[in-house]
Structure 1
Amino acid sequence: MTELHPVAKKDHHAVLIVEDEPLIRELLTLYLEDWGAVVTAVATADAGKLELMKQDWALLLTDVQTPGLLNGVDLAWIANQLNPEIRLIVMSGYYDFVARALPDNALFLPKPWPVTKLQEVIFDQLSKLATAEPGDVFNRLVSTV
């Protein structure tokens, strides 16, 4: 059986979520806040671009397809250009990697995802931050009992 474990909340990473589906956006926000992140969530990559310019983000979690001029892949590349240290998670039920590659600091998370996989991918990305230390906010989140 897989058990979810809470994390220490001493170092609050700034996370930007870009997801056009309100229920998924709210679910992601609740999970990440519960895991100790400071979250801003928007519905489009266009709005995400504006948020990227307001502060330094530790992590961008974006869907590929959102309404507007930009998509999540565009946003991932913009985020990478603005801050090469940002960690990126790009989600989609379908994505053609042959058509357009992701930045090197991005992980792809296929939809639908189990919450344990979401935790694993978030931990993996945030553990790569230059300021991350073992045992900080996003400790190993999942263990097998």
Structure 2
Amino acid sequence: MRGLAETLLEETELSVVGCDSAEEALSVLRESGGDVALVFADIRLAGQMDGIQLANAVATLWPKARLVVTSGVAPERCDEIPDRAVFIPKPWRPIDVLVEAGRAASEAPPAVA
């Protein structure tokens, strides 16, 4: 699904940076956090952090970035997802991801996803 999401987002005006883990995503954000418009993450991620922890870190440290969290199962810890994050259940529709990318691009250019 990650590859599909990256391919889909590459069709937008956003520059796409794919990451293998939340830790890698945080490293990218540390380098260019002010320019990141969208963070799209699955709840289940490789590494020690999950997508909910990543979303909370982004919400705190980079509040201008739009957050989209996805999962194939209903998150048991829904109350831990930041209020401003959008949850899109899998299988998501490409249009739903594109709508969020459009919102991110219009709210915070220049953009990296």
Q: TM-score, normalised by structure 2?
A: 0.81
Root-mean-square deviation (CA), in Å?
2.1
Alpha-carbon distance in structure 2 between the residues aligned to 1:84 and 1:116: 24
SS in 2 for 1:120: helix
Residue 128 of structure 1 deviates from its aligned partner by 7.0
1:34 matches 2:34: no
Report the equivalent of 2:96.
Answer: 117
**Higher RCO, 1 vs 2 (CA within 8 Å, ≥6 residues apart):** 2
Which runs of at least 4 in structure 1 moved beyond 4 Å after TM superposition? none
Runs of at least 5 residues in structure 1 that lack an aligned partner in the other structure: 1-23, 138-145
Alpha-carbon distance in structure 1 between the residues aligned to 2:18 and 2:105: 22
SS in 1 for 2:16: strand
Runs of at least 5 residues in structure 2 that lack an aligned partner in the other structure: none
1:84 to 63, 80, 83: 63
Greater helix share, structure number: 2
Alpha-carbon distance in structure 1 between the residues aligned to 2:105 and 2:11: 18
Q: TM-score, normalised by structure 1?
A: 0.65
Aligned length: 107
Per-residue displacement from partner, 1:66-85 (whole Å, max 9, x unpaired)? Answer: 12110000001111111111
Q: Within 5 Å, which residues of 2 pair with 1:128-143?
A: 129=107, 131=108
Question: How many percent identity over aligned positions?
Answer: 27
